[in-house]
């Protein structure tokens, strides 16, 4: 009879290990049965991940209070759930761990859905349709992303999807990474980098009061969704349906105009219609 390092017969050890695995799997399955939707309702607070460095989608006012499109959408979602909203600052670099680690219930920011990100998080339907452009100094000869050839340097925040996009276009390109976009724009002004690849709406916000900078042509469309924990369809569905309901009753358009500026020129579900029956959603499975 073989004895394992635990000091018991092999067949008993295997049986014990198997039982432990079943118990562990059962506990994990049980832990996943409650949706974040129910947890948020029970605690009475929505922990919303928002940006502090990405106007007009997320920044802070003179009192360090979060403002912009993301915080406003999060506040409206919380209102429709009947709970309070608690804002949690996130960055490009830490946004995925903040979601997967349970530090935020959803990220109301500007994260592009990608195949790689879908391995660890889920996304709602796109709630922003933007495009990606380039900010440069006005005297720059950079016109497109392919013009940022070495020794020119592209600036981006850590964890930005614009880095692999840039590398696809300029394989030998040089990238300097920063913690936030305020640092990135400052580096461009100080001539430490030559260009920033950034969403057009945010780029326009940054250059509005910067006479030495300008934005060049767009080079690809960028749909952005609300990032959530994986495999929680009840919570994701609630967000999807609520966004469309907000669009239907005009709240979404009002928030967009007040924070981003201008009129909404895209549909939240499809170019044809909202999701059928959206007005009947009540948060129940």
CATH classification at residue 77: 3.40.190.10
The DSSP output letter for 24 is H
The domain boundary, picked from 221, 243, 261, lies at 221
| Mean of the per-residue pLDDT values of the chain | 87
- 193: nearest Cα among 137, 222, 153: 153
Q: Does residue 7 form part of some domain?
A: no
Q: What is the pLDDT of residue 280?
A: 58
Residues 227 and 125 both lie in one domain: yes
Residues 45 and 70 both lie in one domain: yes
Q: Does residue 88 form part of some domain?
A: yes
174 band by pLDDT with thresholds 50, 70 and 90: very high
> CA angle, 18 as apex, 12 and 21 as ends, to 5°?
145
The domain boundary, picked from 185, 205, 221, lies at 221
Residues 249 and 118 both lie in one domain: yes
pLDDT tens for each residue of 122-167: 999 999 998 889 999 999 999 999 999 999 999 999 988 889 989 9
Q: How far apart are the first and last CA of the chain?
A: 53
- Helices 233-249/251-259 angle, 10° precision: 80
In the predicted model, is pLDDT for residue 207 greater than 60? Answer: yes
Residues 51 and 185 both lie in one domain: no
Mean pLDDT of 185-197: 96
282 band by pLDDT with thresholds 50, 70 and 90: low
Please give the structure tokens belonging to residue 110: 């500007």
Residues 120 and 136 both lie in one domain: no
Rounded-to-10 torsion of CA 150, 151, 154, 159? 70
Residues 88 and 44 both lie in one domain: yes
Q: Does residue 15 form part of some domain?
A: no
Residues 255 and 268 both lie in one domain: yes
The DSSP output letter for 159 is T
Q: Does residue 236 form part of some domain?
A: yes
Q: What is the pLDDT of residue 19?
A: 38
Q: What is the pLDDT of residue 271?
A: 79
pLDDT tens for each residue of 67-123: 999 999 999 999 999 999 999 999 989 999 999 999 999 999 999 999 999 999 999
The domain boundary, picked from 198, 221, 244, lies at 221
Q: Does residue 139 form part of some domain?
A: yes
Residues 229 and 109 both lie in one domain: yes
Q: How many CB atoms lie within 10 A of CB 4?
A: 14
Question: Of 73-77, 152-156, 186-190, 277-281, where does mean pLDDT reach its minimum?
Answer: 277-281
Q: Does residue 57 form part of some domain?
A: yes
219 band by pLDDT with thresholds 50, 70 and 90: confident
Q: What is the pLDDT of residue 5?
A: 39
Q: What is the pTM of this model?
A: 0.79
Three-state SS at 175:
strand
Mean pLDDT of 12-28: 39
- 111: nearest Cα among 91, 88, 134, 133: 91
In the predicted model, is pLDDT for residue 7 greater than 50? Answer: no
Please give the structure tokens belonging to residue 209: 């009061």
Number of domains in the chain: 2
Distance of CA 2 to the CA centre of its chain: 54
Residues 135 and 124 both lie in one domain: no
| Residue 138 lies in domain | 131-221
Please give the structure tokens belonging to residue 60: 């802070």
Residues 143 and 270 both lie in one domain: no
d(CA 193, CA 187): 6
d(CA 48, CA 77): 10
Residues 94 and 136 both lie in one domain: no
Distance of CA 83 to the CA centre of its chain: 22
Q: For tokens 């990608």, what's the residue?
A: 114
Q: What is the pLDDT of residue 1?
A: 41
Q: Does residue 265 form part of some domain?
A: yes
> CA angle, 114 as apex, 46 and 174 as ends, to 5°?
110
Question: Of 60-64, 252-256, 268-272, where does mean pLDDT reach its minimum?
Answer: 268-272
Q: Does residue 78 form part of some domain?
A: yes
Mean pLDDT of 173-185: 94
Residues 81 and 205 both lie in one domain: no
Q: What is the pLDDT of residue 239?
A: 97
- 255: nearest Cα among 265, 246, 245, 268: 246
């Amino acid at each position: 009879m073989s004895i394992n390092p635990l000091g018991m017969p092999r067949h008993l050890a295997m049986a014990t290990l198997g039982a432990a695995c079943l118990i562990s799997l059962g506990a994990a399955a049980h832990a996943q049965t409650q949706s974040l939707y129910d947890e948020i309702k029970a605690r009475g607070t929505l922990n919303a991940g928002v940006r502090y460095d990405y106007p007009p989608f997320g920044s802070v006012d003179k009192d360090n209070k979060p403002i912009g499109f993301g915080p406003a959408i999060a506040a409206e979602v919380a209102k429709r759930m009947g709970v309070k909203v608690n804002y949690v600052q996130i960055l490009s670099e830490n946004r995925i761990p903040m979601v997967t680690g349970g530090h935020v219930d959803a990220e109301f920011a500007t994260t592009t859905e990608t195949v790689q990100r879908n391995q660890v998080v889920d996304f709602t339907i796109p709630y922003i349709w933007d495009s990606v452009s380039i900010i440069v100094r006005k005297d720059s000869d950079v016109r497109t992303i392919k013009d940022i050839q070495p020794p020119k340097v592209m600036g981006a925040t850590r964890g930005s999807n614009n880095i692999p996009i840039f590398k696809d276009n300029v394989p030998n390109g040089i990238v300097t990474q920063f913690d936030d976009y305020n640092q990135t724009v400052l580096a461009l002004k100080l001539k430490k980098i030559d260009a920033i690849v950034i969403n057009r709406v945010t780029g326009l916000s940054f250059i509005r009061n910067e006479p030495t900078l300008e934005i060049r042509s767009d080079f690809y469309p960028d749909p952005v969704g609300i990032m959530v924990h994986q495999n929680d369809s009840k919570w994701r569905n609630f967000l999807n349906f609520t966004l469309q309901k907000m669009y239907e009753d005009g709240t979404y358009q009002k928030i967009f105009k007040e924070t981003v500026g201008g009129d909404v020129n895209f549909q939240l579900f499809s170019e044809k219609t909202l999701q059928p029956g959206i007005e009947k959603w009540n948060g129940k499975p």
